[in-house]
Amino acid sequence: MKTQDFFPKLSEIPEDIQVSFPLHQTKYLINGQLHEWRGEVENVYSSIYVNEGDSLINNIGSYPLMDEKTALYALDSAVKAYNNGQGVWPKMTIEERIECFKHFVRLMKDQKKLVVNLLMWEIGKSLKDSEKEFDRTIDYIRDTIEALKDLDRNSSRITIKQNTIAQIKRAPLGTVLCMGPFNYPLNETFTTLIPALIMGNTIIFKPPKLGVLLHSPLLDAFKEAFPQGVVNIVYGEGQKVIAPIMSSGKINVLAFIGSCKVADILKKQHPHPHLLKSVLGLEAKNPAIILADADIETTVKECITGSLSFNGQRCTALKILFVNENIYDEFLQKFTTAVDNLTLALPWSDQVDLTPLPEKNKPIWLSELVKDATDNGAIISNKRGGMINKSSFFPVVLENVNSTMRIYHEEQFGPIVPIVKYRDIKEPLEYVINSPFGQQASIFGKDYNQISELTDTLVNQVCRVNINSQCQRGPDIFPFTGRKDSAEGTLSISDALKVFSIRTMVAFKETEDNKKILKEILNSKSSNFLKTDYIL
Nearer to ligand G3H by Cβ, of 47 and 486: the residue is: 486
Nearer to ligand G3H by Cβ, of 64 and 482: the residue is: 482
Minimum distance from residue 315 beta carbon to ligand G3H (Å): 3
Q: How far is 64 from 28, CA to CA, in rounded Å? A: 8
Nearer to ligand G3H by Cβ, of 62 and 144: the residue is: 144
Written as one string, the DSSP assignment of 482-494 is -EETTEES-BSHH
The phi-psi region of residue 343 (left if phi > 0; otherwise alpha if psi is between -120 and 50; otherwise beta) is: beta
- One-letter-per-residue 3-state SS of 424-458: CCHHHHHHHHHCCEECEEEEECCCHHHHHHHHHHH
From residue 512, how far is each of 46, 506, 516, 522 by CA, in Å? 69, 17, 6, 15
Q: Which part of the chain contacts ligand G3H (CB under 6 A), choosing from 6-14, 116-124, 312-320, 349-357?
A: 312-320
- The yes or no reply on residue 492 touching ligand G3H (CB under 6 A) is no
Nearer to ligand G3H by Cβ, of 250 and 314: the residue is: 314
For residue 238, the tally of other CB atoms under 10 A from its CB is 18
Minimum distance from residue 183 beta carbon to ligand G3H (Å): 5
Q: How far is 429 from 49, CA to CA, in rounded Å? A: 44
Q: How many helices (H) and strands (E) does the chain have?
A: 18, 25
Opening angle at CA 40, ends 39 and 44, nearest 5: 130
Minimum distance from residue 317 beta carbon to ligand G3H (Å): 8
Minimum distance from residue 99 beta carbon to ligand G3H (Å): 29
From residue 154, how far is each of 150, 162, 497, 526 by CA, in Å? 6, 21, 14, 21
Cβ(75)–Cβ(246) below 8 Å = no
Q: Which part of the chain contacts ligand G3H (CB under 6 A), choosing from 15-23, 26-34, 237-245, 310-318?
A: 310-318
Cβ(335)–Cβ(382) below 8 Å = no
Q: What does residue 160 show for φ and ψ, rounded to 5 degrees?
A: -120, 120
From residue 392, how far is each of 62, 117, 231, 366, 385 by CA, in Å? 23, 19, 36, 11, 12
Nearer to ligand G3H by Cβ, of 140 and 508: the residue is: 140
Nearer to ligand G3H by Cβ, of 206 and 314: the residue is: 314
Written as one string, the DSSP assignment of 251-307 is -SEEEEES-HHHHHHHHHH-S-TTT-EEEEE----EEEEE-TT--HHHHHHHHHHHH
Minimum distance from residue 120 beta carbon to ligand G3H (Å): 17
Nearer to ligand G3H by Cβ, of 399 and 411: the residue is: 411
Q: Which positions ≥6 away from 342 have C-beta within 8 Å?
A: 304, 308, 353, 354, 395
Minimum distance from residue 191 beta carbon to ligand G3H (Å): 8
- The yes or no reply on residue 314 touching ligand G3H (CB under 6 A) is yes
With CB under 6 A as the contact rule, the residue among 252, 316, 382, 391 that binds ligand G3H is: 316
Nearer to ligand G3H by Cβ, of 14 and 474: the residue is: 474
Helices (H), 11-93: 68-82, 88-91
With CB under 6 A as the contact rule, the residue among 127, 230, 315, 357 that binds ligand G3H is: 315
Nearer to ligand G3H by Cβ, of 315 and 366: the residue is: 315
Q: Which part of the chain contacts ligand G3H (CB under 6 A), choosing from 180-188, 214-222, 460-468, 502-510?
A: 180-188
Nearer to ligand G3H by Cβ, of 282 and 380: the residue is: 282
Minimum distance from residue 181 beta carbon to ligand G3H (Å): 6
With CB under 6 A as the contact rule, the residue among 183, 232, 252, 442 that binds ligand G3H is: 183
Q: How far is 85 from 519, CA to CA, in rounded Å? A: 25
Nearer to ligand G3H by Cβ, of 315 and 401: the residue is: 315
Q: Which part of the chain contacts ligand G3H (CB under 6 A), choosing from 66-74, 311-319, 453-461, 497-505?
A: 311-319
Q: What does residue 485 show for φ and ψ, rounded to 5 degrees?
A: -85, 15
Minimum distance from residue 430 beta carbon to ligand G3H (Å): 26
Q: Choose among 152, 204, 200: nearest CA to 173.
A: 200
Using CB under 6 A as the binding criterion, the count of chain residues that bind ligand G3H stands at 9
Opening angle at CA 158, ends 156 and 164, nearest 5: 150
Nearer to ligand G3H by Cβ, of 89 and 413: the residue is: 413
Minimum distance from residue 25 beta carbon to ligand G3H (Å): 25
Encoded one letter per residue, x for contact with ligand G3H by CB under 6 A and - for no contact, window 448-487 reads ------------------------xxx-------------
Minimum distance from residue 417 beta carbon to ligand G3H (Å): 16
| DSSP state for residue 340 in the 8-state scheme | H
Minimum distance from residue 314 beta carbon to ligand G3H (Å): 4
Minimum distance from residue 26 beta carbon to ligand G3H (Å): 30
With CB under 6 A as the contact rule, the residue among 82, 182, 184, 222 that binds ligand G3H is: 184
**What residues between 333 and 352 interact with ligand G3H by CB under 6 A?**
none
* Cα dihedral 421→427→428→431 (10° resolution): -120
Nearer to ligand G3H by Cβ, of 136 and 250: the residue is: 136
The phi-psi region of residue 391 (left if phi > 0; otherwise alpha if psi is between -120 and 50; otherwise beta) is: alpha
Minimum distance from residue 284 beta carbon to ligand G3H (Å): 8
Q: Which part of the chain contacts ligand G3H (CB under 6 A), choosing from 182-190, 223-231, 360-368, 399-407?
A: 182-190
Q: Which residues bind ligand G3H (CB under 6 A)?
A: 183-184, 188, 314-316, 472-474
